[in-house]
A and B are shown apart, each in its own frame.
Chain A
């Protein structure tokens, strides 16, 4: 076995364990949107995205238009666009297309993190090692969440349903601590989202549509008022 593949698998184990727990709560969300365990498994295996899948399940639950699903997926996963842009700069220029296509399968916060943190040009086999271990955990955890969401007492489901939000907080709070502008806009987003959920007219829109509108508007205002310098982007 290639040395890089082995190293990747080793680093993929803690990621996989975390995935197993968090995707379980995603499975609970999938179940309440009406998905079967098999559909939850397929969704996770083909998406590898926490926020994106969660957002997608809210669209399914609302029986909203396919166009809304497309827009929602685009917005909720926009950060992967940014990560892939960053990763594109790390590939050796002569890297064959097949490696670019395969690495693109699983650009998540964690896989991106360990891939970009590894010194030198991107080594695809290292990333594959981590993916082989972590991606099945994500899919299996989701299926288990759909199944066991039924068997668990309501109290336990209630507790597990915040695991996903905990993960979101773990992604946004550390950069907010380092960067006051990010902290400001996290706060603005909380307030605007709360207002949009309660104001007349706006609250009639589906939660997915509200998320899309708020994300585009707030991010555009932030980008116009506080354009980032190169060195700040490194923390993203």
Chain B
């Protein structure tokens, strides 16, 4: 069965909004549970890391270029570059490398 894209989009929008708005409206005091706080603290880093690798290797025409983009992105972000410069350097390294590889 082919699912309906608008139902997918509706689910995405409803859940995303609920995640953001429920804490803003319901929480009027601090969360105390230490495990829960710690879990919430680690989730963003873990989920983004899991989604980045190895998917970045498959997103480019050549996996070598994807690996180079990963390395350059990590180095640039490590050196304190912001969101936009890091993204641009990843794109640039893929573009230049694939001129030679492919």
Contacts and interface: CB of A to CB of B under 8 A. Distances in A.
A39 B94 CA distance: 28
Contacts of B94: 158-159, 162
Chain A, interface residues (CB within 8 Å), range:
35 or more
A146 interface: no
B60 A162 contact: yes
A65 B4 CA distance: 11
Interface of B: 2-3, 5-9, 11-13, 15-17, 19-25, 27-28, 30-31, 34-56, 59-61, 65-66, 69-70, 73-74, 76-78, 80-84, 86-92, 94-95, 98-99, 102
Interface string A42-83: 110011110111111001100111100110011111111111
**Residues of B contacting A: mostly:** helix
Given A47-B13, A168-B48, 4 more contacts: A65-B3, A85-B40, A105-B17, A189-B45
Contacts of A220: 39
A121 interface: no
A1 interface: no
Closest 5 CB pairs of A and B: A79-B44, A104-B21, A173-B77, A189-B49, A166-B90
Interface of A: 14, 17-18, 21-22, 25, 34-35, 39, 42-43, 46-49, 51-56, 59-60, 63-66, 69-70, 73-85, 87-89, 91, 93, 97, 100-101, 103-105, 107, 109-110, 154-156, 158-177, 182, 185-186, 189-190, 192-194, 197, 207, 210-211, 214-215, 218-220, 222-224, 226-228, 232-233, 236
